Amino acid sequence: MIEPLIECIPNFSEGRDTERIAAIVSAVEASPGVRVLDQTSDWDHNRTVVTFAGGPIAVVQAAVRATAEAAKLIDLNLHRGVHPRVGAVDVLPFVPLRSATLEDCARLARWAGERISSELGIPIYFYAAAATRPERIALEDIRRGQFEGLRDAVVEDPERRPDLGGPGLHPTAGAVIVGARKILIAFNVDLQTADLGVARGIARQIRASGGGFPAVKALGLPLLSRNLVQVSINLTDFEQTPLHIVYEEVVRLAALQGVGIEKSELIGLLPKSVMERGFAHFIKLPEFAPQKLIETQIAPLTFDRVEVPGLFLPGERLC
């Protein structure tokens, strides 16, 4: 039997203070049975995304520990950043990587949420495959108004109150949005302009909610530290909408306004097939497949030493 492997990608509302970031990542690393696979911090977003993996119990334990550490270090009342957030740990998704289903991850999310609520006193919203009602499936619906707006909204509006804990948010750590989902690609494209309208316009055109590509969420954000703007993209189903198609459309829409691409940015990890299909697309190589890679072909090769009667290799031996 292959042990289940779960990915967890907490988004922390701290992307500037390197000591705090190190302390939060250390809390994950110090938890037994998990491995940190990737870590990205952004000054403008003021946010750190950590990707780690492990077995189900270990992953939940590490998520709770990291949440405790983040809640100790982050005060949302003092937090400024261009990316929307409601919590010190803003989002906490669980993703099945191996020998696990989305339903398994939804149960892990519920369990993690219960522990965070009861042990740390931080209210919980469940989203995506762990949502408790349809209007909480989409992250952006839960996050509407951000920390400041949600903190006030829950006082008057029972509809917006947390699934666990509350009714008020935690005074400094806000709330954690915990969920289960498939692999998501978080991909940002930085535009060579400081005009936020350009990024917002492109985001509106490409996202599903604006009639754009299915499975695409997008925001236009200013990158104040670099005097640029960014189209920040979440691709929730890369099988349905390929990454390269979204990228090319951003390039095209920007070019229509005379704006070039500064560079792209990948937050977290990418499935290999996305690279393979992207490469084949960009280079117009329809027959391309992993079988056309030397490494794919030779990795499984083992040969017995062949003895051909009467044949020997002349001269010295190979190294």
- Counting every residue written for the chain, the total comes to 319
Considering beta carbons, is residue 78 or 308 the nearer one to a second copy?
308
Q: Rule CB under 8 A: is residue 159 a binding residue for a second copy? A: no
From candidates 32, 70, 202, 214, binder to a second copy by CB under 8 A: 32
CA-closest candidate to residue 59, choices 49, 47, 67, 70: 67
Among 75, 104, 141, 195, binds a second copy (CB under 8 A): 104
Can you tell me which of 29, 75, 237, 276 binds a second copy, judged by CB under 8 A?
276
CB atoms within 10 A of CB 15: 22
**Any contact of residue 310 with a second copy (CB under 8 A)?**
no
Cis omega (within 30 of 0) for bond into 271: no
Q: Is 37 a binder of a second copy (CB under 8 A)?
A: yes
Spell out, one character per residue from 210 to 249, where the chain touches a second copy: x when CB under 8 A holds, - when not.
---------------------------------xx--x--
183 contacts a second copy (rule: CB under 8 A): yes
From the CB of 292, what's the least distance to a second copy, in Å? Answer: 6
Kindly state the number of chain residues that form the binding site for a second copy, as judged by CB under 8 A.
75
Give the shortest CB-296-to-a second copy separation in angstroms: 8
Rule CB under 8 A: say whether 41 interacts with a second copy: no
Query: From the list 18, 22, 30, 33, which residue makes contact with a second copy (rule: CB under 8 A)?
Result: 33
Residue 83 is among the residues annotated as catalytic for this protein? yes
Write the interaction track for a second copy spanning residues 42-71; mark x where CB under 8 A is met and - where it is not.
-----------xxxxxx-xx----------
**In this complex, which beta carbon is closest to a second copy, that of residue 89 or of residue 233?**
233
Give the interface segment with a second copy, choosing from 91-99, 131-139, 169-177, 205-213 (CB under 8 A): 91-99
Q: Give whole-number Cα distances, 184 to 25, 124, 206, 296, in Å.
A: 21, 21, 17, 25
The two structure tokens encoding residue 88: 């010190």
261 in contact with a second copy (CB under 8 A):
yes
**DSSP H/E element including 96:** strand 89-98
Q: Amino acid identity, residue 233?
A: I
- Which residues share a beta bridge with 177? 91, 125
Is residue 3 a contact point for a second copy (CB under 8 A)? yes
> Residue 243 CB, nearest distance to a second copy (Å)?
8
> What are the distances in angstroms from CA 3 to CA 45, 156, 209, 260?
36, 46, 38, 46
Phi, psi for residue 32 in degrees, rounded to 5: -70, 145
Beta bridge partners of 199: none
Q: Report in angstroms how near the CB of residue 143 gets to a second copy at its nearest.
A: 26
Rounded to a whole number, what is the distance in angstroms from the first to the last CA of the chain?
40
3-state secondary structure of 123: coil
CA distance 169 to 161: 9
Sign of the alpha-carbon torsion through 270, 74, 60, 91:
negative
Binding mask 106-145 for a second copy (x = CB under 8 A): -xx--x----------------------------------
State which residue, 131 or 243, has the beta carbon closest to a second copy. Answer: 243
Task: List the catalytic residue out of 45, 79, 83, 170.
Answer: 83
Q: How far apart are alpha carbons 159 and 243 in whole angstroms?
A: 35
Q: Which residues are catalytic?
A: 83
